[in-house]
Structure 1
Amino acid sequence: MRYRAVLHIAAIIAVLLITWGITINSPDIHEKARRVLATSAPVTKCGLSKVCPPNHFALHVKSGAANVVGPRICFEDKIIIGHMLNNVGPGLNIAIINGEKGVVEKSGYLNMKIGRQDEILKYLNDIKPGRIVMVASFDDMTKKLTNDMREVFVRMGSTLIKSVQSRDNWVFVGRTGTGNRSSFEKQAVNDEKTNLYEGWPMAVEVGGCFPRGADGPKP
């Protein structure tokens, strides 16, 4: 009787092992496991290397290259402005985001070659408080740029706009209504010794996680 019981248990174990072996080698099981892992893996946005924490927006801004390749503005994994969208222009390419809701309120470009200075300044001054302002230069952004316009960006947190000169590349993300310095800003200076293209500096870009709400990044 004991011998038969041992054989019975051994047979059950053998069946279980065979079943397990078939299961783990099943293509369906492998595919289901892959899907589960893919679903549970964190999803990054706008090409960032990390997932943004709660109450933060993912964003990325890249300036144009010379006067040939247009800029790119991405917010929460959506391209708002880009060369392929055919909505870029010379000067300041800009997107205005509701800082609480994360809704794009306006996007387009301020033509700094042939635009009217009074209209450009009014557009900038009319941006409501608490809005996230994303800006990327393309071509020469300084032909119509006035000191009053520069001051508007200073109030948004820019520390470089006052030094931007002809054919410099500039990207910036700030928030209206705060005096906080923004860490989302870069400038490439037009210098014939270092220019990547003939007469033009390299493109510049910034990206990261921008806090939701009424307050911008802290110094």
Structure 2
Amino acid sequence: MGAPAPKRQKCDHWTSCPPNTYAYRLLSGGGRNKYAKICFEDKLLIGEKTGNVGRGINIAIVNYMTGKVIAAQYFDMYEGDNSGPMTKFIKGAPGKSLLFMVTHDDGSSRLKEDAKKAIEALGSKEIRNMKFRSSWVFLTAKGFELPAGIQREKINHSNNAKNRYPGWPAEVQIEGCIPREAS
């Protein structure tokens, strides 16, 4: 008789988050049919199963105080001019919000300066380094500081032959636990 199967943790973490924390996982897309995902507190905010993931930059906004989803939307950065609407969406996030951003397919081709500045203002160090089909994930806060030590951003440009999806950079992810604010 083998060991019992491990208990499933929120957002498929290997270990559970401590009490009074939020669990999250951000996963970029990694191929035509390998869609991006944003999970928060075991709820899929953006993904294939929710039907709200798309090519470009996918963003979810969550109220930090309540843990409730405020909005989730994707902005196609390959076709059309969606940089302006995305900038408005980001700037419209209320204070005390968590913002989760992930790319699927291409998040850079039509990414304009106003959008780059808005994302930089939230603390991104990689937004200007994105290339065609870069895999990118970014976690940030608006109106407060995230605790030190939380991984906030990851990027991958390489689309070498070793990747699982030819012509695409391998997906990247960050996951962890964010302390809830003390009441």
Q: How far did 1:55 drift? A: 2.8
Larger strand share, 1 or 2: 2
Superposed, 1:52-201 pairs within 5 Å as 52-116=17-81, 117-178=83-144, 183-192=151-160, 195-201=163-169
Residues 53 and 165 (structure 1 numbering): CA distance in 2 closer, same or farther, change over 3 Å? same
Distance 2:28 2:79 in 1: 20
Distance 1:195 1:167 in 2: 13
What TM-score, normalized by structure 2, do the two folds share? 0.83
Residues 143 and 77 (structure 1 numbering): CA distance in 2 closer, same or farther, change over 3 Å? same
Residues 148 and 193 (structure 1 numbering): CA distance in 2 closer, same or farther, change over 3 Å? farther
What TM-score, normalized by structure 1, do the two folds share? 0.71
Superposed, 1:38-53 pairs within 5 Å as 44-53=9-18
Distance 2:181 2:129 in 1: 29
- Aligned residue identity for 1:189: H
Aligned to 1:37: none
Q: How far did 1:66 drift? A: 2.3
Residue range with higher mean Cα deviation, 184-193 or 196-205: 184-193
Distance 1:196 1:44 in 2: 26
2:159 and 2:170 in contact (8 A); partners too = no
Unaligned runs of 5+ in 2: 1-5
- Aligned residue identity for 2:18: P
Distance 1:213 1:153 in 2: 24
1:90 and 1:111 in contact (8 A); partners too = yes
Unaligned runs of 5+ in 1: 1-40, 215-219
C-alpha RMSD over aligned residues: 2.4
Distance 2:80 2:35 in 1: 18
Distance 1:43 1:149 in 2: 37
Greater radius of gyration (CA)? 1
Distance 1:47 1:83 in 2: 16
